[in-house]
Amino acid sequence: MTINVCLCSDNNFAPFVATTISSILLNTKEHISFYILSDNISDENKELIKSGTERFFSNYQITFIDINSCDVFSKCISQQFISRTTYARFLIPELLKDLDFVIYSDVDVCFTGDISLLSNEKIGDYAIAAVPSQRGRLNNNYKEFKKCYNLKKEHSVFMSGLLVINCKKWRQENIGQKLIELSSKEKVNDQTTLNMFFDGNNYYKLGNKYCVIYKLLDTCFSQEEANQLKNEQIIIHYPGGGTFKPWINPQLASADYFWNVVRFTSYIDILNNKYNRTTEKELIDYLSSFKNIIIYGAGLIGKLVATRLKFYPKLKNICFAVSDLKGNSSIVLDYKVCEINELSRLKKNETVVILAMDYRYYNDIENTLNKLQFNHRVAIGNKLQNDLYLNSSMIIDEINKLKKENQLLTDKINTLFELLNYTSNIKQLNKASGKLRIIQQADVLLLQIFHKVCKKSNLEYWLDFGTLLGAVRHKGFIPWDDDLDVAMPREDYEKVTSTLKSNLDRFGITVNQGQGFTHPVIRLLYKNTPIQLDIWPYDHIIQNTSIEEISQNIIDCNAALYKNFSISDIRNAKIDFPKEFFYKIKERYLGSNSEKSISDLFVSGAEALPYRKPNIFKRADIYPLSTINFEDLTFVAPNNVHNYLKGIYGNYLTFPKSKVLMHDNIADKYESIDDEIINELQAILDSID
């Protein structure tokens, strides 16, 4: 009997393809046909995968099938820790047209039992077999997940890392293409796509022995159940990042299974050199064989490594490397800091790269190092970090000293803060001057333009955040503020982009949604200048539960959105704001907007939570809208500004305890600002009907 097994991988995970294959062959006598969907696995890595198995096993064959996930799955989402290669499992039945059934497995696993037991599972007419997620025991049976993706209550959420696929049925029903279309449309990852498609338990349930996750044994199972699973285990899965991977954390429970298998691959020296170093002595011994040492990452971990290397004079030619020098010092701890591309001239066989950063960035860094052909690397895992710290008593003493000094400074600041508020009146501060005042005056003109367009188009707004606070406390701008904030009810917020564009595009006033900003709100900008106005959405709802529950629902909706879409990708305009997806989950968490005239509450739009908490106001706090003086002009304000500002800031009539800083992306453009910008905006204001 031949068992067909399919694995998917990019170049970074090639070593773990080899370990997965070897773990299967070590425990199975039957002949195995491995099909590896290769997303740009290099020829060198393909040979390493083959050569390891050739030395130890004979009951197998390996076939590489090249794919390009960036082309095939271009409309599917790519997340920081999830590459598009994960969607390749959707294509298996089409790529392997002669097969009726295939076992698909992720490569962060270790088989400890006979895979033929899995191949003998009778899945009937089901399209797939999968293991229900054991995490359901921890999180109220995935209640929030099901709510977010509109899954049936009775559905048992399953994991996508192990699947038995009925290829014949997939081809007959064109399931692969339907999954790609669903993932592209809903902008959800592979596991969510599969659960949405096979909702209502429309799959064959495999036993937990096919996916034993040691980090869940103590929390999800009784001691008796955990012991039984360990005795029955066929597959150990290592989900999660960083220290949950056995190669990064050799001390992880069940990591010994992985490292025992590594001996049967051609990657044993590579993985040992890179990951399996847990003491400072092991690290120094390894580094001593290289002429050049690059510490990739100039943060805390990199500084810790550099501090320890100073104690070893024989280690020379050390420098820091970063992906981008912008925002980094050129010298750290007396070592030069370079962009990694600058160091490509170094001889690769004489150079070692130390990965000294948060494990979450390893994948991107690995891609960069592969392109630059830096093959000698060592990662600073948790165990090695701890050993470096233990050998750095002077650093620990310095940290403790700084903690004491910090507490003394905090006490002094609190005293000065109380004294400042006692002796000074924040309402009587002088207005800003110089470049900042020019920006504020130009901002006022932009606000007038916005007000004029809204009035003409019957769109409602009110001053919000620092702009409203400045109006109440200073009759204009807070002296150190440098932009504008307004709020709009959702239905007007939805109309304002097209309205502003049709009225203002010709003047060089542009509209975007959150680009270059921490929050994906609508931003009005004047040309390439720091003159800007941010528009915050507010939803209005009938109160049918407690304020605390509504607040949590907004937070959960926000979390669900950014689990699927990177806020940095939205901010940097790599992707458009996913409106369709957002409105679907917003309705599931908060329901539909009611009529403004009968709504009980007005709440922060869940896509953009300021200060990481929702603002929730009673209808009487907002309506009927009133007016307020701002820089000797009249604009729109909430009905009860005291309740409104108190809800956001607490005691808003005192000096702020936190740093008084202007927005970085505004401040760095001050030099280009002069009075001419005021003349330009005044001319635009005068020309609007």
pLDDT tens column, 555-564: 988 888 887 7
Residue 123 scores a pLDDT above 80: yes
Q: Where are the alpha helices (DSSP H) in 425-512?
A: 434-457, 465-474, 490-504
Q: What is the pLDDT of residue 35?
A: 97
Per-residue confidence band for 252, with pLDDT thresholds at 50, 70 and 90: confident
Q: What is the pLDDT of residue 458?
A: 95
3-state DSSP: the chain helix, strand, coil percent, rounded to 5? 50, 20, 35
Q: Check residue 489 and report its DSSP letter.
A: E
Residue 167 scores a pLDDT above 70: yes
Residue 662 scores a pLDDT above 70: no
Residue 399 scores a pLDDT above 70: no
Strands (E), 42-161: 60-67, 101-105, 109-111, 128-130
- Which residue, 569, 24, 86, 502, is CA-closest to 264? 24
Distance CA 36, CA 65 (A): 6
Q: What average pLDDT score do residues 616-623 get?
A: 94
**Greatest extent of the chain over all pairs of C-alpha atoms, in Å:** 88
Residue 418 scores a pLDDT above 90: no
Q: What average pLDDT score do residues 508-531 get?
A: 83
Look at the domain 2-244 and name its fold: Spore Coat Polysaccharide Biosynthesis Protein SpsA; Chain A (3.90.550)
CATH architecture of 277-390: 3-Layer(aba) Sandwich (3.40)
> Can you name the residues that pair with 601 across neighbouring β-strands?
541, 618
Q: What is the pLDDT of residue 81?
A: 55
- Which residue, 52, 15, 42, is CA-closest to 275? 15
Contact criterion met (CB below 8 Å) for 193 and 157: no
Q: What is the pLDDT of residue 516?
A: 65
Residue 80 scores a pLDDT above 70: no
Q: What is the pLDDT of residue 195?
A: 96
Distance CA 190, CA 188 (A): 7
CA torsion through residues 642, 644, 650, 655, sign: negative
Distance CA 504, CA 618 (A): 34
What is the DSSP pairing of strand 162-166 with strand 101-105?
Answer: antiparallel
pTM, two decimals, is 0.71
Residue 569 scores a pLDDT above 80: no
Q: What is the pLDDT of residue 590?
A: 87
Amino acid identity of residue 237, one-letter, is H
Low-confidence winner among 404-408, 449-453, 565-569 (lowest mean pLDDT): 565-569
How does 14-45 read in b/e, with b if 16+ C-beta sit within 10 Å?
A: bbbbbbbbbbbbebbeeebbbbbbbbbbeeeb
Mean of the per-residue pLDDT values of the chain: 88
Q: What average pLDDT score do residues 47-67 get?
A: 92
